[in-house]
Structure 1
Amino acid sequence: MFSVVVSLSIQALFVFRTSAIHCQPGWDHHDSSCYLFSKDTATWESARDICQSVSSSLVAIESQSEEAFIEARLHHEFASFMFWLGGTDQFDNNSTEWTWVMTEQKINEGYTDWHPTEPDHPGKQHCLAMRKDFNYKWTDDYCTENHGYICESNTESGGTIIG
């Protein structure tokens, strides 16, 4: 009797836990976030606005595991050369530190994956991207360039379908 109760409790916990992790169709799940990999291109500001319009933000890569997940998706399924990330050095007018827009965390205080020669245009290139020819290492770029982009949403909001 005890083992049946324990078994049912574990099954109920598993069902509750897996049902709490939900992403909308077209979004991919990893850890506690949902990701939308856009095949469209946009400027950094337009990409940020598009992500916000679907209850998300440009992605903030905060761990090697998260980066490996994103790189695998980009490598196998996307032809775009560069992808916008949710970092900028113009988050606060009083600072030139790179900051994740989604979390307001200073990028260099956490996980980073800058290409060894980057950032290379301080004061000119204010938006963060991943470059395919840099093995998806991070680079600064002009915010007015058009690149692919990745939206991130926590699994509680689950993201919204675009289109």
Structure 2
Amino acid sequence: MAFFDTNSSTVRFSTSAFLLVIIVLVYLPDQLESIKAATFSSLRSILNNTRIDTNLTASITNIRKLPCMSECLNNVNCMSAGYHSNNTECRLHSVLDSGSSGVPETGWEYFSIQEDFCRKENFVHNRILDICYSVEPGLKNCPDAMGTCASIPASLLTVDSQEKQDWLQEVCVANNITGVYFDMYKDGVWKLRSTGMTPSYTNWDDGQPDSTGTDVCVASKPNFNWMWHDYPYPWKAGIICEIRRP
């Protein structure tokens, strides 16, 4: 187990590494055991002597650094954490901040919890479902939606489980998205663009899919109870881009 300091090439091994594992096991509830990225190896110190005040989700006082980091690991909405060793103050943040808006203050350390594959601006890592995603602004037709994600580079969202379908609905409601495209294409049968394989999970509405052409995409809308429908290319929908774990 190691902490990585981006300001130095040194990798410092801590004798308390075993305690980190114990703390994670104690702090994480049973339902979060499947979190793939919630490990202390994903924590990186990226800023020093800078206080971040934006996107604050929690502030905890009289707490040591390791429990502070555990609080972030245990909170699916925590993407970064700040800690002041002298004040024993812990701050949890919902995004990874560049530090450009930070306030100079000696004693602060700022840690990222995001893994390397999800270190893209505006992307969030849902650690329970292991989804690295970004909600893009506006509505676009299917080819333009694919192009938006490809330029990042990323892909349109793949929904491959009921848990991810339920999460999608929550994200759409929270962001006022009235419909969203998926990363699927029709080649005789529907396939996943990411693998070229037929999907193991689907959520088709009754009578769907019903298109006979190939210039169609799959989308989900609230007025069909989020069930899947196929739509012609010109139809416009919201965009959620996804970066998949290598």
TM-score range, shorter chain: 0.7 to 0.9
**Letter of the structure 2 residue corresponding to residue 101 of structure 1:** R
More strand by share: 2
Pairing 1:140–2:237 present: no
- Superposed counterparts of 1:1-163, under 5 Å: 6-8=18-20, 10=22, 14-17=39-42, 19=113, 21=115, 22-30=118-126, 31-78=129-176, 80-89=177-186, 95-107=187-199, 110-123=200-213, 126-155=216-245
Contact (CA 8 Å) 1:88, 1:126: kept in 2 or not?
yes
Gaps of 5+ in 2: 1-15, 25-37, 44-112
Farther-moved stretch of structure 1 (38-47 vs 10-19): 10-19
CA positional deviation for 1:23: 4.5
Report if aligned partners of 2:114, 2:125 keep a CA contact under 8 Å in 1. no
Q: Is the 8 A contact 1:125 1:140 kept in 2?
A: no
Distance 1:73 1:8, change over 3 A: closer
CA–CA separation in structure 1 for the residues paired with 2:239 and 2:191? 17
Identity of matched residues, %: 21
How far apart are 1:114 and its partner, in Å? 0.9
Report the Cα distance in structure 2 between the residues aligned to 1:106 and 1:11, rounded to whole angstroms. 41
Post-superposition offset of 1:49: 1.1
Tell me how large the CA RMSD over aligned residues is: 2.7
* Worse-superposed segment, 146-155 or 52-61: 146-155
- Compute the TM-score of the two structures, normalised by the length of structure 2: 0.52
Q: Which has the larger radius of gyration?
A: 2
* Residues 115/57 of structure 1: CA separation in 2 closer, same or farther (3 Å cut): same
Contact (CA 8 Å) 2:133, 2:240: kept in 1 or not?
yes
SS in 2 for 1:98: strand
Question: 1:132 is aligned with what amino acid?
Answer: P
User: 2-side partners of 1:20 and 1:131: how far apart?
Assistant: 30
Query: C-alpha offsets along residues 51-97 of structure 1, whole Å, 9 cap, x if unaligned?
Result: 0110110111111111111111102221x4321111121xxxxx311
What TM-score results when the alignment is normalised by the length of structure 1?
0.76
Write out per-residue CA displacement over residues 23-60 of structure 1, whole angstroms, 9 at most, x where no aligned residue.
53422322322111223111111111110110110111
User: Which amino acid in the other structure matches residue 114 of structure 1?
Assistant: W
Aligned equivalent of 1:161: none
Point out where structure 1 has 5 or more consecutive residues left out of the alignment. Answer: 90-94, 157-163
